[in-house]
């Protein structure tokens, strides 16, 4: 029973006491004349002191008096949130005072006095209730500052400073969810969680960032966002000392040390350390491409691929080589380019031990795969016009121009067009006079490798006849 209930009972007691007259007293008024009542009052003096009252009252009168004093009055003092001995003593004295109400045999004057005394006692109780509420509030505030937690959970031993906090915590054990969303009927264990959830339906975002005006529906999300402005990273990995702005990012990172992969693909059973990686992977099975380019309507399965693609429209090349200052739109292109400076060739053919690199980009895994087809004889790319097959996709594209007549590569000097870029490069040497291919025997130079090969046969013939 709360303090508020106690106060309400005391008020109800006062009202009922004013309206209701004791049955025994009413019966005596009907049976006896006023003179007789006066005579009884003269014969027996109403006991005003508790000790005299106990000696002189009849058993019948004591029974009536017990009915007058509500049982709650005897029980309530024990339930008041008062721990001080002196408060309990004051409460007991007031209860005793209530027991000393005059007898029913008094005249109307004494009855009025009885009502006045009763009202005075109830007012004391009201004052006591207000005092108890303030005292309880004061004690609650003290526990907040002192850190005292006197309410303990019997299930897990958790301690709380407020009884309301303990009740809310107990729902985590019982599974009780008394607060339901009227939109989706989802249940919650506390009202604050329901209010937060409701914002997902209303779209309300009451917490705004003062730096960038971005809004959030939870204060916790705003606090996390603020770290992007302050650079704060309070969560550190004990293994490698790397820091993170969010605890969830730290937990995901820790799986790189433990090797844990709790998220599995239901199609191929491949495991992933975080849920976002699983979602990206799932699109390889579904073919979903939710990210579209607004310029050319090309779609991508990942947002990162869309961002990279957008650079083909903007011309942005944010990745620069420190050696030659050449810029690239992708970090992978820069890494490949850097091998031109370092001479690194990480992909080797197992058949001939030859290392490969492209003229522009070095040591690409795709070039190794294409080279391996020279050993296997595989030609997976076929022309739909003449069924001719090729080991490389680029070779098929060049061949298709024979059928279409397309010549996308033009000479800037004479406007002559070519179907492939290699043919244009050969032609350009007729204008520049460049002869990059030299004979090792006579040092004669040629503009095309085919001409050099033809020339080399003249030396072989001479050697044959000698």
Highest mean pLDDT among 3-17, 47-61, 198-212 belongs to 198-212
All residues at 6 or more sequence positions from 86 whose CB lies less than 8 Å from its CB, including other chains: none
Mean pLDDT along residues 211-231:
91
Question: Tokens in use for 287?
Answer: 């073919």
Mean pLDDT (the chain) is 73
Average pLDDT on 457-463 reads: 79
Stretch 202-229: mean pLDDT: 91
Evaluate the CA torsion angle 182, 187, 193, 196 in order and state its sign.
negative
Q: Is the distance from CB of 418 to CB of 427 less than 8 angstroms?
A: yes
Can you tell me the distance from the alpha carbon of 33 to that of 39, in angstroms, rounded to the nearest whole number? 10
Average pLDDT over residues 95-101: 41
Which of 3.30.160.60, 1.10.3720.10, 3.40.47.10, 1.10.10.10 would CATH assign to domain 177-230?
A: 3.30.160.60
Torsion angles phi and psi, residue 394, rounded to 5:
-65, -35
pLDDT at residue 67, rounded to an integer? 40
Kindly state the tokens that stand for 322: 């420190």
Count the Cβ atoms, other than its own, within 10 Å of residue 67.
12
Question: What per-residue string of b and e applies to 75-87 under the rule 16 or more CB within 10 Å gives b?
Answer: ebbeebbbeeeeb
Boundaries of CATH 3.30.160.60 in the chain? 177-230, 235-314
> Could you report the per-residue pLDDT of 138-176, keeping only the tens digit for each?
555 555 566 677 788 988 988 888 888 888 888 889 988
Instruction: Report the percent of the chain where pLDDT is more than 90.
Output: 25
Per-residue pLDDT tens over the stretch 375-398:
788 888 899 989 899 888 888 888
Q: Please state, in angstroms and as integers, the Cα–Cα distance from residue 310 to each residue in 283, 299, 304, 320, 332, following that order.
A: 21, 11, 10, 18, 16
The token duo for 44 is: 């027996």
Q: Are 259 and 269 in contact (CB under 8 A)?
A: no
C-alpha 415, offset from chain centre: 61
> Per-residue pLDDT for 449 more than 90?
no
**Residues 6 or more apart whose Cβ sits within 8 Å of residue 162:** 140, 143, 151
- 464 pLDDT band, cuts 50/70/90, is low
Give CA–CA dist 447/439, Å, rounded: 12
Res. 184: pLDDT tops 90: yes
- Kindly report the CATH number that applies to the domain delimited by 235-314: 3.30.160.60
For the chain, the residue count is 466
What local confidence, expressed as pLDDT, does residue 201 receive? 93
pLDDT for res 31: 46
Residue range 188-207: average pLDDT? 90
By DSSP bridging, strand 271-272 and strand 437-438 are unpaired
Tokens of 462: 């001479």
What pLDDT is attached to residue 197? 92
Average pLDDT of the segment spanning 232-243: 92
| pLDDT tier at 359, thresholds 50, 70, 90 | very low
The Cβ-side half-sphere exposure at 41, using a 13 Å CA radius, reads 20
According to DSSP, the residues that pair with 389 across neighbouring strands are: 382
- Check residue 281 and give its pLDDT: 93
- Tell me which of 228 and 11 has the higher pLDDT: 228
pLDDT tens-digit readout, 278-321: 999 999 999 999 999 998 988 999 998 899 999 989 999 999 99
- Per-residue DSSP letters for 33-88? -HHHHHHHHHHSPPP-SHHHHHHH--HHHHHHHHHHS-HHHHHHHHHSS---HHHH
């Amino acid at each position: 029973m709360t303090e508020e209930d106690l106060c309400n009972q005391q008020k109800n007691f006062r009202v009922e006491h004013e309206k209701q007259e004791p049955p025994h007293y009413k019966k005596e008024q009907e049976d006896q004349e006023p003179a007789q009542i006066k005579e009884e009052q003269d014969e027996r003096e109403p006991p005003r002191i508790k000790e005299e009252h106990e000696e002189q009252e009849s058993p019948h009168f004591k029974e009536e008096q017990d009915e007058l004093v509500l049982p709650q009055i005897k029980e309530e003092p024990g339930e008041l949130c008062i721990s001080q001995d002196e408060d309990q003593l004051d409460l007991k004295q007031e209860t005793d005072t209530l027991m000393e109400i005059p007898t029913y045999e008094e005249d109307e004057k004494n009855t009025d006095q009885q009502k006045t005394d009763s009202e005075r006692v109830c007012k004391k109780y009201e004052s006591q209730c207000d005092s108890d509420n303030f005292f309880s509030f004061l004690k609650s505030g003290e526990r907040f500052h002192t850190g005292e937690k006197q309410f303990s959970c019997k299930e897990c031993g958790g301690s709380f400073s407020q009884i309301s906090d303990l009740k809310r915590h107990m729902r985590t054990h019982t599974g009780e969810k008394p607060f339901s969303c009227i939109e989706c009927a989802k249940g919650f264990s506390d009202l604050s969680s329901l209010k937060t959830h409701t914002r997902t339906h209303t779209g309300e975002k009451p917490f705004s960032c003062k730096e960038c005006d971005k809004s959030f529906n939870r204060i916790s999300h705003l606090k996390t966002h603020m770290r992007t402005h302050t650079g704060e990273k309070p969560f550190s990995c004990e293994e490698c000392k790397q820091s993170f702005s969010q605890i969830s990012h730290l937990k995901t990172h820790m799986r790189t040390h433990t090797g844990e992969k709790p998220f599995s693909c239901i199609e191929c059973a491949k495991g992933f350390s975080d849920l976002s990686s699983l979602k990206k992977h799932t699109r390889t099975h579904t073919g979903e491409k939710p990210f579209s380019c607004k310029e050319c309507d090309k779609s991508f399965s990942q947002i990162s691929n869309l961002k990279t693609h957008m650079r083909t429209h903007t011309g942005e090349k944010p990745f620069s080589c420190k050696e030659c200052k050449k810029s690239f739109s992708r970090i992978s292109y820069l890494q490949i380019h850097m091998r031109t400076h370092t001479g690194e060739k990480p992909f080797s053919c197992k058949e001939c031990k030859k290392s490969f690199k492209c003229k522009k980009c070095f040591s690409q895994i795709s070039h190794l795969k294409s080279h391996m087809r020279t050993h296997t004889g595989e030609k997976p790319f076929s022309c739909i016009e003449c069924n001719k097959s090729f080991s490389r996709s680029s070779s098929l594209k060049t061949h298709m121009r024979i059928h279409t007549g397309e010549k996308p590569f033009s000479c800037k000097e004479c406007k002559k067009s070519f179907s492939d870029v290699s043919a244009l490069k050969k032609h350009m040497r007729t204008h520049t006079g460049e002869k990059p291919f030299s004979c090792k025997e006579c040092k004669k130079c040629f503009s095309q490798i085919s001409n050099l090969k033809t020339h080399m046969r003249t030396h072989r013939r001479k050697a044959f006849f000698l």
